[in-house]
Amino acid sequence: MAEPHPAQSAARHTTTQAATADAAEAADVAGAADKTAPRLSPKATQHLAPADSPRIRTATPEDVAAVLDFWRTAAEGTSISDDQDGVRRLVARDPDALILAELDGRLVGTVIAGFDGWRCHLYRLAVHPEQRRRGIGSALLRAAEQRFTALGGRRGDAMVLVANETAHPAWQSAGYRPEEQWRRWTKPLTA
Protein backbone atom coordinates (compact mmCIF):
# COMPACT_ATOMS: atom_id res chain seq x y z
CA MET A 1 0.00 0.00 0.00
CA ALA A 2 1.35 3.44 -0.92
CA GLU A 3 2.30 5.86 1.84
CA PRO A 4 -0.24 8.67 2.27
CA HIS A 5 0.58 12.11 0.96
CA PRO A 6 1.89 14.32 3.84
CA ALA A 7 -1.18 16.57 3.55
CA GLN A 8 -3.45 13.53 3.94
CA SER A 9 -1.52 12.34 6.96
CA ALA A 10 -1.79 15.77 8.60
CA ALA A 11 -5.47 15.99 7.72
CA ARG A 12 -6.07 12.56 9.28
CA HIS A 13 -4.41 13.66 12.50
CA THR A 14 -6.33 16.96 12.49
CA THR A 15 -9.62 15.17 11.82
CA THR A 16 -9.03 12.85 14.75
CA GLN A 17 -8.06 15.73 17.03
CA ALA A 18 -11.05 17.85 16.01
CA ALA A 19 -13.43 14.96 16.49
CA THR A 20 -12.57 14.88 20.18
CA ALA A 21 -11.65 18.47 21.00
CA ASP A 22 -15.06 19.40 22.40
CA ALA A 23 -16.23 15.93 23.38
CA ALA A 24 -18.08 16.98 26.53
CA GLU A 25 -20.12 19.86 25.12
CA ALA A 26 -23.37 18.52 23.61
CA ALA A 27 -26.03 15.90 24.23
CA ASP A 28 -25.56 12.36 22.94
CA VAL A 29 -27.91 10.42 20.78
CA ALA A 30 -28.94 7.04 21.74
CA GLY A 31 -20.92 3.69 -2.19
CA ALA A 32 -17.25 2.99 -1.96
CA ALA A 33 -15.21 5.69 -0.29
CA ASP A 34 -13.10 8.19 -2.16
CA LYS A 35 -9.62 6.91 -1.33
CA THR A 36 -8.09 10.38 -1.77
CA ALA A 37 -10.12 11.92 1.07
CA PRO A 38 -8.61 12.20 4.55
CA ARG A 39 -9.54 9.24 6.75
CA LEU A 40 -9.64 8.33 10.37
CA SER A 41 -7.20 5.56 11.01
CA PRO A 42 -8.34 2.37 12.76
CA LYS A 43 -5.30 2.97 14.97
CA ALA A 44 -5.87 6.72 15.43
CA THR A 45 -4.61 8.20 18.64
CA GLN A 46 -5.35 11.52 20.27
CA HIS A 47 -2.31 12.93 22.02
CA LEU A 48 -3.96 16.18 23.13
CA ALA A 49 -7.46 14.95 23.97
CA PRO A 50 -8.57 15.01 27.61
CA ALA A 51 -8.22 11.67 29.39
CA ASP A 52 -11.98 11.13 29.50
CA SER A 53 -12.52 11.97 25.81
CA PRO A 54 -13.36 9.10 23.52
CA ARG A 55 -10.88 7.69 21.07
CA ILE A 56 -12.52 7.97 17.66
CA ARG A 57 -11.48 5.50 14.96
CA THR A 58 -12.82 3.54 12.03
CA ALA A 59 -13.85 -0.08 12.46
CA THR A 60 -11.87 -3.05 11.21
CA PRO A 61 -13.15 -6.54 10.34
CA GLU A 62 -11.98 -7.65 13.80
CA ASP A 63 -14.53 -5.25 15.39
CA VAL A 64 -17.62 -6.79 13.79
CA ALA A 65 -18.67 -9.13 16.62
CA ALA A 66 -18.11 -6.45 19.28
CA VAL A 67 -20.15 -3.92 17.26
CA LEU A 68 -23.07 -6.34 16.91
CA ASP A 69 -22.98 -7.08 20.65
CA PHE A 70 -22.81 -3.35 21.38
CA TRP A 71 -25.84 -2.58 19.20
CA ARG A 72 -27.91 -5.12 21.14
CA THR A 73 -27.21 -3.05 24.26
CA ALA A 74 -27.10 0.51 22.97
CA ALA A 75 -29.00 0.85 19.67
CA GLU A 76 -32.70 1.41 19.17
CA GLY A 77 -34.42 -1.03 16.84
CA THR A 78 -32.92 -3.71 14.65
CA SER A 79 -32.12 -3.97 10.99
CA ILE A 80 -32.12 -6.73 8.41
CA SER A 81 -28.37 -6.02 8.08
CA ASP A 82 -27.56 -6.54 11.78
CA ASP A 83 -25.52 -9.68 11.27
CA GLN A 84 -21.88 -10.66 10.72
CA ASP A 85 -22.20 -10.71 6.92
CA GLY A 86 -23.93 -7.32 6.76
CA VAL A 87 -21.41 -5.49 8.92
CA ARG A 88 -18.42 -7.24 7.31
CA ARG A 89 -19.74 -6.20 3.89
CA LEU A 90 -20.03 -2.57 5.09
CA VAL A 91 -16.47 -2.51 6.44
CA ALA A 92 -15.08 -4.20 3.30
CA ARG A 93 -16.93 -1.90 0.88
CA ASP A 94 -16.28 1.36 2.73
CA PRO A 95 -13.66 0.98 5.46
CA ASP A 96 -14.23 4.53 6.75
CA ALA A 97 -18.02 4.35 7.09
CA LEU A 98 -18.31 2.63 10.47
CA ILE A 99 -16.88 4.98 13.09
CA LEU A 100 -16.30 3.84 16.67
CA ALA A 101 -15.80 5.62 19.98
CA GLU A 102 -13.79 3.93 22.72
CA LEU A 103 -13.02 4.80 26.33
CA ASP A 104 -10.25 2.87 28.00
CA GLY A 105 -10.33 0.34 25.15
CA ARG A 106 -14.07 -0.30 25.61
CA LEU A 107 -16.56 0.34 22.77
CA VAL A 108 -18.93 3.11 23.92
CA GLY A 109 -20.36 4.49 20.67
CA THR A 110 -20.89 3.97 16.96
CA VAL A 111 -22.14 5.76 13.89
CA ILE A 112 -22.31 4.67 10.28
CA ALA A 113 -21.43 7.57 7.99
CA GLY A 114 -22.33 6.32 4.54
CA PHE A 115 -21.62 8.40 1.46
CA ASP A 116 -22.77 7.19 -1.93
CA GLY A 117 -21.23 10.06 -3.90
CA TRP A 118 -24.53 11.94 -3.82
CA ARG A 119 -25.93 11.89 -0.28
CA CYS A 120 -24.50 11.65 3.23
CA HIS A 121 -26.40 9.12 5.33
CA LEU A 122 -26.11 8.62 9.09
CA TYR A 123 -27.18 5.35 10.67
CA ARG A 124 -26.65 3.54 13.96
CA LEU A 125 -25.62 6.50 16.07
CA ALA A 126 -25.60 4.73 19.40
CA VAL A 127 -23.95 5.45 22.74
CA HIS A 128 -23.75 3.00 25.62
CA PRO A 129 -26.56 3.81 28.10
CA GLU A 130 -24.05 4.36 30.95
CA GLN A 131 -22.03 6.82 28.82
CA ARG A 132 -24.77 9.06 27.43
CA ARG A 133 -24.74 12.84 27.84
CA ARG A 134 -20.94 12.92 27.99
CA GLY A 135 -20.21 14.18 24.46
CA ILE A 136 -19.60 10.79 22.84
CA GLY A 137 -22.43 11.10 20.33
CA SER A 138 -21.31 14.64 19.51
CA ALA A 139 -17.74 13.45 18.90
CA LEU A 140 -19.03 10.69 16.60
CA LEU A 141 -21.21 13.14 14.66
CA ARG A 142 -18.28 15.56 14.25
CA ALA A 143 -16.14 12.74 12.86
CA ALA A 144 -18.94 11.70 10.47
CA GLU A 145 -19.54 15.28 9.32
CA GLN A 146 -15.82 15.82 8.76
CA ARG A 147 -15.75 12.67 6.65
CA PHE A 148 -18.70 13.92 4.61
CA THR A 149 -17.25 17.37 3.96
CA ALA A 150 -13.88 15.87 3.00
CA LEU A 151 -15.72 13.74 0.43
CA GLY A 152 -17.65 16.75 -0.93
CA GLY A 153 -20.92 16.05 0.87
CA ARG A 154 -23.27 18.94 1.50
CA ARG A 155 -25.97 17.71 3.88
CA GLY A 156 -26.22 14.97 6.47
CA ASP A 157 -29.33 12.78 6.41
CA ALA A 158 -30.02 10.89 9.65
CA MET A 159 -32.20 7.83 10.11
CA VAL A 160 -33.97 8.36 13.47
CA LEU A 161 -36.84 6.20 14.67
CA VAL A 162 -40.04 8.18 15.22
CA ALA A 163 -40.63 6.21 18.44
CA ASN A 164 -37.14 7.06 19.76
CA GLU A 165 -38.36 10.33 21.26
CA THR A 166 -35.46 10.60 23.69
CA ALA A 167 -33.12 10.94 20.70
CA HIS A 168 -35.04 13.74 18.98
CA PRO A 169 -33.81 16.62 21.22
CA ALA A 170 -30.24 15.40 20.91
CA TRP A 171 -30.43 15.37 17.10
CA GLN A 172 -31.95 18.85 17.20
CA SER A 173 -29.16 20.13 19.47
CA ALA A 174 -26.67 18.78 16.90
CA GLY A 175 -28.37 20.92 14.22
CA TYR A 176 -30.55 18.29 12.53
CA ARG A 177 -34.23 18.87 11.74
CA PRO A 178 -36.95 16.44 10.67
CA GLU A 179 -38.39 16.85 7.20
CA GLU A 180 -41.97 15.73 7.67
CA GLN A 181 -42.73 15.83 3.94
CA TRP A 182 -40.52 12.76 3.41
CA ARG A 183 -41.33 9.17 4.23
CA ARG A 184 -38.97 6.23 4.09
CA TRP A 185 -40.10 3.47 1.73
CA THR A 186 -38.42 0.07 2.03
CA LYS A 187 -38.49 -3.32 0.42
CA PRO A 188 -36.52 -6.36 1.62
CA LEU A 189 -34.43 -7.73 -1.23
CA THR A 190 -33.89 -11.43 -1.79
CA ALA A 191 -30.97 -12.96 -3.64
Q: Along the 191 residues of the chain, how does pLDDT read in single tens digits?
A: 344 433 333 333 333 333 333 333 333 333 333 444 445 655 444 433 455 789 999 999 999 999 999 999 999 877 888 899 999 999 999 999 999 999 999 999 999 999 999 999 999 999 999 999 999 999 999 999 999 999 999 999 998 988 988 889 889 999 999 998 988 888 878 76
What DSSP element (H or E) covers 57?
A: strand 55-58
Phi and psi torsions of 24, nearest 5°: -100, 10
Task: Give the pLDDT confidence score for residue 87 in this predicted structure.
Answer: 97
Domain count of the fold of the chain:
1
Judge residue 114's burial from the number of C-beta atoms within 10 Å of its C-beta, 0-12 exposed, 13-18 middle, 19 or more buried: buried
Q: What is the CATH number of the domain that holds 93?
A: 3.40.630.30
Residue 1 lies in a domain: no
Q: Is residue 166 part of a domain?
A: yes
CB-count exposure of residue 31 (10 Å: 0-12, 13-18, 19+): middle
Determine, yes or no, domain membership for 117.
yes
Q: Is residue 115 part of a domain?
A: yes
Does residue 85 fall inside a structural domain? yes
47, part of any domain: no
Structural domain of residue 76, as residue ranges? 28-41+52-173
